Structure 1
Amino acid sequence: MPAQVQARLNPLAVTALVTSLLCLAPLGLIFGAVALLQISRNGQRGKGLAIAGISVSGAVLLLVGLAAPLIDFKVWTLPARSDSGEAAGPGWTTVHSLTAGDCFDPGSGLPERDTLALGGASVRLVPCDESHRGEVYGTFALSGEGEFPGRDGIAAIARPRCVRLFLDYSMDPMAFGRLQTYYFHPDERGWDAGRRTVVCWVARLDMTELDSSVQRDASDLDPAQLAFLSAVKPLSIGAALRPVKSPQQDLPGATAWADQMAEAQTETIRMLKDTELPGAEQPTEQLVAELEKGLPFWRQASEASDADTFLGHLQSVDQHSGNKYVRRIRGLLDLPMPTTKPGQALQSTAVPADV
């Protein structure tokens, strides 16, 4: 008897199964359907492979359809950057890829104080001259190879360092309304994996969008503006580091802060006395006089024995803040008029994220 010739295997049947296993479900369905037609018409082998390809592809598409309403899908396009490293176009990226000068929108919206980790730690990078919610102004690495220091341990290092970095990056935060500094820091899982990076960033406290960079360094200021802002910088740093807990909750923390504010105010008084501000001499002298009147109340607050006494001394400090002279000096030096009191211009909080 002559040898029986085996029917030819349909190549699209094999392709259907392979593409379905590679999670290319739409292609698997197409190749499988075409393969079945060719097999039926030409008497080829591979019907089982084609059916398997269609079945796997169908199951994958069904699962995607069920999961789609539950998943936040983002189109991850790498953000374009110019030769200088600035964002030249929008695109999704991760927190750990952000660098100083990057403007972005948090993937989960702006966090609240004491929030949990930022969902997914994803951000949409945008050019700073477009509307955005946040701006990175510095990064640094935490030292230490031991156990995770906990949120409070990280905050003790990161909060003051981020505030100081911001007041180097933007020497005049009062020009941008009420701002809040945030910082992403590694959570325990990230710490155990060896990650130590802290990413410092800033946003408006009322969550409205920024339409330009908040960066303003010495190159943007004339000598008199730079001298004045440098003189009040110690007070700006101290005010931004006001304790999160009230004096009723943490009197020792409040009195320690008052002692730091006394030192900061002493330094500002000294620098203002040594600074020449042409055209603004008189309000500068008046500001110094007010700050000198308020200084003893900071000292008294640092020694307060109870919360009510502490708050009473702070009210006396506020009566000698010299805010009206600050506004007058700013006007004479052609600095933007602030929309908030100096002590309310900047606040700080933390955002745990696996960075």
Structure 2
Amino acid sequence: MNGFAVTALVTSLVCLAPLGLIFGIVALVQISRKGQRGKGLAIAGISVSGAVLLLAALVAGTVDFKVWTIPGRDSDGKVARSGWTTILSLRTGDCFNPGTEIKRDKSILNDASVELVPCDTSHRGEAYASFTLSGQRDFPGPDTIAAIATPRCGKLFLDYSLDPGAFGPLQTYYYYPSERNWAAGNRTVRCWVGPKGDSELDTTVRRDASNLDSGQLAFLSAVKPLNSTGLLRPVRGPRDDLDGAKAWAGQMAEAQAETIRLLKDADLPGARRPTEQLVAEFEAGLPFWQQAAKASDADTFLGHLRSVNQHNGDTHVRRIRELLDLPMPSTPPTQARHETPAPGPV
């Protein structure tokens, strides 16, 4: 009995198909030369091994396998080499591609992996802040977490990027701990931002005081209250939640009044005239925010919002930005109530 024939069959049956194929061929050569027994075993080993290898080739052509290469960071902690990791490893400033398609109609996060990439390469997300939930012993549930995370992530984003409109239409998201991870002690919410639709970013959206001159910083700081409160616009409209819409309108009235005050105090050399015109537009629009906060029905509320839009000062904003050498703004970012690309905890 040829020993390689026996080995070929055994290795093929224990999923060592490449070895089974090799041992089977060696066995057939030796059996033919030496007149030994075991030809059937060798053929069986070759057949099983061949079938396993063929099946593996077919599966490899249809299944998406992630190669979990470890991302590399430079001496400053920035991602220098792409690689796969988990959501729990995200750091502020990390650019990444979510391991699952961004959808808003599911209740479970099926893939908690992310591909970290350098921020100057194409990516779908950027982590900009994180914070710890406190004050709750038991898992508070998604709705309670949303009520905390939505406004806080919105405010933190305007701290991270004073000029988000310069990067195209953006959407903010957040990851929060699942009930199981909550029980294990995880209380961290991770805020991140990505472009709307199917577009991608190829640069960081971080823009703080270190990237701006004094005039640019003064203007962007002045409009920050209005921008940050605008992010908190309720997901449900006034026809579905009039009280929520009215509460937001009241917040917008306060934010617009604060922006007016800051613009009047701002030192904007070379842009004083359009700044005065912008203040006048905001002052004209402020009463409509105040009236919307007291609207008796949804139609009245929406009517006041249309009046607000007639005094948004867009022409003056563009002129100020041009004079201050700021990029022209696009659609401002919006705040996502849901926390993940495929909504669900992590």
Same fold judged by TM-score > 0.5?
Answer: yes
Q: Are residue 98 (structure 1) and residue 90 (structure 2) matched?
A: yes
CA distance in 1, matches of 2:164, 2:246: 26
Q: Structure 1 pair 315/249, CA: closer, same or farther in 2 (3 Å)?
A: same
**Cα deviation digits, residues 217-269 of structure 1 (max 9, x gap):** 10000011101101100110111111111111111110111111111111111
Q: Secondary structure at the match of 2:85?
A: strand
Q: Which letter maps to 2:296?
A: S
Q: Report the alpha carbon displacement of residue 283 of structure 1 after superposing the two structures with TM.
A: 1.4
Q: Secondary structure at the match of 2:319?
A: helix
Superposition pairs for residues 236-251 of structure 1, below 5 Å?
236-251=227-242
Q: Are residue 322 (structure 1) and residue 313 (structure 2) matched?
A: yes
Q: Secondary structure at the match of 2:191?
A: strand
**Cα deviation digits, residues 108-150 of structure 1 (max 9, x gap):** 23x1345444431222221111122211111222235544322
Q: Report the alpha carbon displacement of residue 314 of structure 1 after superposing the two structures with TM.
A: 0.7
Q: Secondary structure at the match of 1:84?
A: coil
Q: Structure 1 pair 211/39, CA: closer, same or farther in 2 (3 Å)?
A: same
**Equivalent residue, structure 1, for 2:68:** 76
Q: Report the alpha carbon displacement of residue 32 of structure 1 after superposing the two structures with TM.
A: 7.1
Q: Contact 2:130–2:189 (CA<8 Å) still a contact in 1?
A: yes
2:131 to 133, 140, 143: 140
Q: Report the alpha carbon displacement of residue 204 of structure 1 after superposing the two structures with TM.
A: 1.4
CA distance in 2, matches of 1:168, 1:83: 25
2:323 to 332, 341, 345: 332
1:121 to 97, 112, 117: 112
CA distance in 1, matches of 2:133, 2:10: 50
Superposition pairs for residues 183-262 of structure 1, below 5 Å?
183-262=174-253
Q: TM-score, normalised by structure 2?
A: 0.84
Q: Structure 1 pair 93/53, CA: closer, same or farther in 2 (3 Å)?
A: farther
CA distance in 1, matches of 2:18, 2:184: 38
**Root-mean-square deviation (Å):** 3.3
**Equivalent residue, structure 2, for 1:3:** none
Q: Contact 2:81–2:117 (CA<8 Å) still a contact in 1?
A: yes
CA distance in 2, matches of 1:116, 1:59: 40
CA distance in 1, matches of 2:127, 2:47: 49
Q: Structure 1 pair 119/64, CA: closer, same or farther in 2 (3 Å)?
A: farther
Q: Report the alpha carbon displacement of residue 301 of structure 1 after superposing the two structures with TM.
A: 0.8
Q: Which letter maps to 1:102?
A: D
Q: Are residue 273 (structure 1) and residue 267 (structure 2) matched?
A: no
**Equivalent residue, structure 1, for 2:335:** 348
2:301 to 301, 310, 319: 310
Q: Secondary structure at the match of 1:120?
A: coil
**Equivalent residue, structure 2, for 1:166:** 157
Q: Which letter maps to 1:204?
A: P
Structure 1: runs of 5+ lacking an equivalent: 1-6
Q: Secondary structure at the match of 1:88?
A: strand
Structure 2: runs of 5+ lacking an equivalent: none
CA distance in 2, matches of 1:71, 1:58: 20
CA distance in 2, matches of 1:43, 1:247: 90
Q: Structure 1 pair 198/62, CA: closer, same or farther in 2 (3 Å)?
A: farther
CA distance in 1, matches of 2:327, 2:71: 33
Q: Secondary structure at the match of 1:119?
A: coil
Superposition pairs for residues 272-311 of structure 1, below 5 Å?
272-311=263-302
Q: Which letter maps to 1:184?
A: Y
Q: Contact 2:222–2:262 (CA<8 Å) still a contact in 1?
A: yes
CA distance in 2, matches of 1:262, 1:138: 27
CA distance in 2, matches of 1:346, 1:286: 25
Equivalenced residues, count: 342
